[in-house]
Amino acid sequence: MAHSDSDYAELHLRSLYPRDLEYPMQWGDRSLVITDPLQKAIGEEGLTVQQLAAWWKRLGNLALPNQPKWSGFVAEIGDQPCGLIEILPFNRTRSTWRVKRVVVNPLAVPASGEGPLDLVGTQLLRHCFEAVWEARMWLVEVDIQHTTALALYRQNGFQPLAQVTYWEISAEALTDLAQREPDLPNLMAVSNADAQLLYQLDTAAMPPLMRQVFDQQIQDFKTDPLHGFASTTVQWMQRVNVQRGYVFEPQRKAAIGRFELTACQDGRRFHTAELTVHPAYTWLYPEIMGHMARLLQAFPAAPLRLTSHDYQPEREDYLTQIHAEPVDRTLMMSRSVWHKVRESKPLSLEGLQLPDVLPGLQPAGKPMPGSRLSWQRHPKPDTKEEARPSTPPVEPPCLGSERANSVDPKSRPDHLSGESW
């Protein structure tokens, strides 16, 4: 359905500031929220930490303008905010961006033929597509049960990329996994010097379409000092502990598996983990899971959540064997800024005529008889040499007197000066 500019004449968009994060808290349960699945467990304390992190990033942008920035936009009707969107770059090159959250206050949106989320959310998304000129790809992740959010993203050009399943391992199952001694002789800590190995592992563990959309480079697996200090501060405020490691294969000089474990120190939330294993080394799943289970024994008992995509069937089979439960299923969607191709019904080629398709190739007139074009360039004959034959005379096989007379007399030897030589 096409809309004119007059339909959104009262809607104004501006940049998002850290103080604007308080609006969703003021709107309360009345607001329509499309949030990232990883943000569902964040409560009031998490929002406060998020605001402090936003202010910290603002100060970091002033000090280091070339660093990846946190951004977003707010929709206002008059002077009253009615919606906001949070976006952030997915990679260091800023070629792929991710929609973190979309919030709309339906009480501040006037009644119309379409819902408040479609009216305001569509304008926020389109404004992001136009304002963020660096973005070539956009990523969203939405719950498959959230039909309104799926309709909003599909309406704005997002297409399914992969299905994501969030698995939860109970504390009792983690205790059983910790009883087994893992066999990881080449387990190493992650540093910036290992970015090349981690990039190669991440590239081999996903299909080409995912690699094209994510567009991650080696620098995406490095941590600069300022960002590392900020992450450590946020982890201290959220009372979490992050441990990273990877398994090195000495024969191939490559990383074949890695993990990132985020353990909650106060037991209020579940633990989370990110696990990547090379497709040729699936035997690493029980080994790495046993190692993470041992690490979690030092923290309060809580379930562990990790993700699995639909292109990783080996991981899902292993999680089913250890009695893990799928607690949430989401759909990852992507959108290209160059996808605007009008969908039309394919035309039949039977009714097309050549003069109609290629009118420029029709002859302008009838050809003139006898007029031929020669593409070979001939030299202009000289007036003094008009009597010269076009082809040189064929030389006789025997040497006659004519050829002997053609020799210069000056160069002829004295004893051969006669005519009979």
Q: How confident is the model at residue 28 (pLDDT cuts 50, 70, 90)?
A: confident
- Sheet strands (E) in 294-394: 304-309, 325-336
Q: How confident is the model at residue 118 (pLDDT cuts 50, 70, 90)?
A: confident
* Average confidence (pLDDT) over 34-61: 56
Q: What is the pLDDT of residue 373?
A: 56
Low-confidence winner among 209-213, 312-316, 360-364, 381-385 (lowest mean pLDDT): 381-385
SS3 sequence of 26-46: HHHHHCEEEECHHHCCCCHHH
Band of residue 87 on the pLDDT scale cut at 50, 70, 90: very high
Highest average pLDDT, of 34-48, 51-65, 233-247, comes from 233-247
Query: Which runs of consecutive H residues, i.e. helices, occur in 72-224?
Result: 116-131, 147-155, 171-178, 195-204, 208-214
Give me the pLDDT at residue 237, please: 81
Q: What pLDDT is stored for residue 52 in this prediction? A: 56
Is the pLDDT higher at 282 or at 233?
Answer: 282
**Selected residue with higher pLDDT from 329 and 359:** 329
Comparison of pLDDT for 359 and 20, the residue scoring more:
20
Backbone CA torsion sign across 344, 348, 351, 356: positive
| Residue-level pLDDT at 33 | 84
Residue range 289-310: mean pLDDT, rounded: 93
Is there a common fold for 7-157 and 164-336? yes
Domain boundaries, the chain: 7-157, 164-336
What mean pLDDT is reported for the chain? Answer: 78
**209-217 long-range Cβ contacts below 8 angstroms, 24+ apart:** 209/161, 210/161, 210/162, 210/311, 213/96, 213/137, 213/139, 213/161, 213/334, 214/90, 214/91, 214/96, 215/91, 215/93, 215/95, 215/96, 215/136, 215/137, 216/91, 217/91, 217/92, 217/93
Tokens of 346: 């394919």
* Residue 199 scores a pLDDT above 70: yes
DSSP state of 180: S
| Residue 126 and residue 118 in contact, taking contact as beta carbons nearer than 8 Å | no
Cβ(123)–Cβ(11) under 8 Å?
A: yes
Q: How many residues does the chain have?
A: 421
pLDDT of residue 141: 94
What pLDDT sits at residue 224? 83
For residue 25, what are the contacts with CB-CB under 8 A and spacing of at least 6? 44, 47
Place of tokens 């969908």: 343
372 or 416, greater pLDDT: 372
- pLDDT tens for 202-218 read 999 999 999 999 999 99
- Residue 212 has a pLDDT of 92
In this predicted structure, the answer to whether residue 242 has a pLDDT above a threshold of 70 is yes
Q: How many CA atoms lie within 13 A of 355 on its CB side?
A: 3
Question: Lowest mean pLDDT: which of 105-114, 237-246, 290-299?
Answer: 105-114
Domain 7-157 indexed as CATH 3.40.630.30: yes
Q: Cα–Cα distance between 283 and 162 in angstroms, integer?
A: 24
pLDDT tens column, 271-295:
999 999 999 999 999 999 999 999 9
With 50 as the cut, is the pLDDT of residue 319 above it? yes
Nearest to 70 by CA among 140, 132, 137: 132
Fold of 164-336: Aminopeptidase (3.40.630)
Indicate whether 405 pLDDT > 50: no
Beta bridge partner(s), residue 36: none
Of the candidates 260, 243, 229, the one whose C-alpha atom is nearest the C-alpha of residue 298 is 243
Q: Which one is predicted more confidently, 377 or 386? A: 377
Identify the weakest region by mean pLDDT among 133-142, 323-332, 354-363.
354-363
Cα end-to-end distance, the chain, whole Å: 107
Helices 284-296 and 171-178: crossing angle, nearest 10°?
Answer: 110
Check residues 381 and 102 and name the one with the higher pLDDT.
102
What is the structure's pLDDT at 400? 45
pLDDT in tens, 122-175: 999 999 999 998 899 999 999 999 999 999 999 999 999 999 999 999 999 999
Identify how many contiguous H helices and E strands the chain contains and give both numbers: 12, 13
Give the C-alpha separation, 335 to 365, whole Å. Answer: 52
Taking Cα atoms as reference points, which of 86, 82, 84, 81 lies closest to residue 70?
86
- Give the span between the Cα atoms of 15 and 222, in whole angstroms: 29
pLDDT at 62 over 90: no
More confident residue, 100 or 382: 100
